Structure 1
Amino acid sequence: MKKLSIFFTLLFLLLSAESYAQNTLKKWYISGGVHAVNHPSARGFGEGLFEGDNWSFVPPLSQISVARTLNRSFAVDLQASVGEIDNKRLMIDNEYMVLIGMGLRYRFANGYILKETSWFDPYIRFGANYHRMPYRGLEFAPAEYDNAGNMISGIVDNDGDVLENGAIVDNDHFALSGGLGMNFWIWSKIGLNLEAQYVAVPAVKSDYIDFFQAKAGLAFRFGKSDRDKDGIPDEEDECPDVPGLKEYNGCPDTDGDKIEDRLDECPLEPCPNGESTDEYDCVNGCKVMKEIPVEEEPVEPVTPDPVKEISFEDVLFEFDSYTLTADGAQKVKDAAEIINSQEGNYFVDGFADSVGSDAYNLKLSKNRAQAVKDGLVAEGVDGNRLEVRGFGEQYPKCTNDTPEGRACNRRVVVLERY
């Protein structure tokens, strides 16, 4: 046993050195420790699992695992368990056991369930194994009974149950295993490992050589993971799934304008902050076009049609509004008295100042004219005598360069039609 412990210690150190030297950008894992087996609890699949008398313990460094991460969720491993154990179900003592196999692990600390950097790192494992343990070539012959029903020959286990009739116990077996494990990372690369799994031999119909195996030991992980292959380890990469630049902690600058994509509102259009031309300024990585001032020539007020305005003051409106003011309502009432006192039909023409787009101002002017028509109808004017028109910012009465001039242009005029 002393020679065996020395062998596993050297193997442990050798694998550690190799994994670190050859996989500086890969995530390797190695653990080693003591293990124990429990044959009696396989009979009831867990019955008596926590009874110490059912377990056979093996000295330290009797179990070793080497694993390599495939992606954030899965890893493959190679496990080996050796040592002299007791099969306390079959009452066999101090036999040399070997269990070597490949396994697939699913890690819960994968960024979906737990954080990848979590100190608590549980996993489930399924494996295929070579299992060897001498059973002294015993043949489990059919049991024989006397006339009173008492067994006079046959093999029984430690619970007095007759084992499978006619079975021959081989030394070498193919075994399947499955179980749970967990790592507790005390430091970033050193932790404690606990693992429990059930080992079954499919070729044997009975479960008399199946067993539970538990392991406890130290775990080490080496190298650095770099999922996006940008040369920046995942633990330092703020964008671990997208290739990026070191100056932006692993995040990309797709358009190369010195603004990382997370802060760039136009990540596909290069526009460095602070750049300015006659046409645009760069703001948050986007081009903001400048307004080019246009000098407007003074426009003389013109009458839209050869009509005459009835004698009352314009109905004026507030900025960006077509609601009649108190003063406007009084002017509408005055206009209604004039229209009702004479015959003829009338235009109700609306206008706007130059603030806003042409389309918006055209619609606003029509709404203002309609508001005046509605007021005139409310005062008793026949609506059929009134025609609503909107001219937007055309035909300004006053200049649009001053607040007073723009207020003058927010108006409605009632004109008599010839």
Structure 2
Amino acid sequence: MKNLKLGISALALTVASTVFAQTTTNPWLIGVGAHAENHVAAGGKVGDVFSTAFGGKDMGELYSINNFTITPPLSKLTVARNLMKGLVIDWQTTVGNVDNKKLGMGKEFMLMTGLGLQWKANMLWNEESWFDPYVRVGANYLRHDYSGVAAAINADGENIGANHFTLATGIGSNFWITKSFGVGVQGDYVSTPTDKSTAANFWQAGASLLFRFGQRDRDKDGILDKDDLCPDTPGLPEFQGCPDTDGDGIPDKDDQCPEVAGPVENQGCPWPDTDGDGIVDKDDACPTVAGPAENNGCPWPDTDGDGILDKDDACPTVPGLAQYNGCPKPKTQTAIEVEGELKNIYFDFNKATIKAESASRLDAASTIIKNDGGNYLLEGQTDKKGSEAYNLDLSRRRAAAVVAALDARGVDASALKSIGVGEAKAVISESASDAERQQDRKVVVRAIEDATEWSTYQKSDVPVKAPAKKRK
């Protein structure tokens, strides 16, 4: 009875150790059941076990239920852990009151406990299969007292005693009813090689209820720790259990900016926009200066510095005015403005002398010409009153007088020429009133942009040669 209590204490210690061990992150197995021993079928030497067991007359002894000592339930405990696919380490303990019918010894307390290795056969097809066979080898401590048993003598004539070292070799299989629950059977041949005797050798069979557990999920993300690259942080299956806080498709462990979404090409960080123009630096031709997307992030240039951007400037390399789309004022427009001033130029009657009250108009006309530049032809015209020859001479002198007045006001003299056409372009009848004929007495200004045409005019005279007309 005392020995039985000792066995129960050893079994309780084993269970306590198991509870502690199951806190690891690897899959574990625990099995509880019963066992039976057959010393009769063990035969003689270890090497003769199979020939004895299957050799004819002793065949019935191996399978005879009368030769087995069967222990009650909860007399066998198995704790196992997967080391790798197809390889398991286990700790098996069997306890109970067992006889040795081979020696005629009555029941004595027996405790056998030790480590073993299992090689799983289902690794060849599917380690998650319900059918889970294996081969096992184990080394154990055996407590079975043969003291005083006359037949339990070793080769040296000594009694083999109570403490033994055993080797167990056998086969078994687990049958999984669910993923975590099943039944298991195992058969072993147990030998005591250090006793120099086969008296304690026996066949052992066992059956157990199995419970498989221990695959933890510390972060509760549904991914087992053994498959979870981030076991302490909830994550996603597509990232092997690692999180993606910003949802940019890059797991936080590989994301340089885990709180802000960014592309893979920039290690999960958003592309910078240094100048704040809404165009990221990688696409911005001018990353430090704000500019529109239409110009690749660069500000629109103003090459001629006239305040009109090149994209809107019809003359981007020449300063101009907004009303002329960035181009300089057309010379024809300048000529019209000058002519508008010169319409109010008055001459003494029948003379080419400019009246004093016309000075302000000449000042305005000279300012326009100096600001805009270019070459200008001043054409004097008269009404039809008087002879043609006289009117022609008068128109020439009046036009030349205006050129001289502008020259005196700082206009480049080389940019001015004058001619007179007399009454050739008059439209009012000679019989009309003086006030009506006034519109024919004027100096008309025309901008000359063609250098060839300009060269056909003398400084203040009729054309040397009329410019050739282009054929239409």
More strand by share: 1
Higher RCO (C-alpha under 8 Å, 6+ residues apart): 1
Q: Normalised by the size of structure 2, how large is the TM-score? A: 0.43
Q: Normalised by the size of structure 1, how large is the TM-score? A: 0.48
More helix by share: 2
**Which structure: larger Rg?**
2
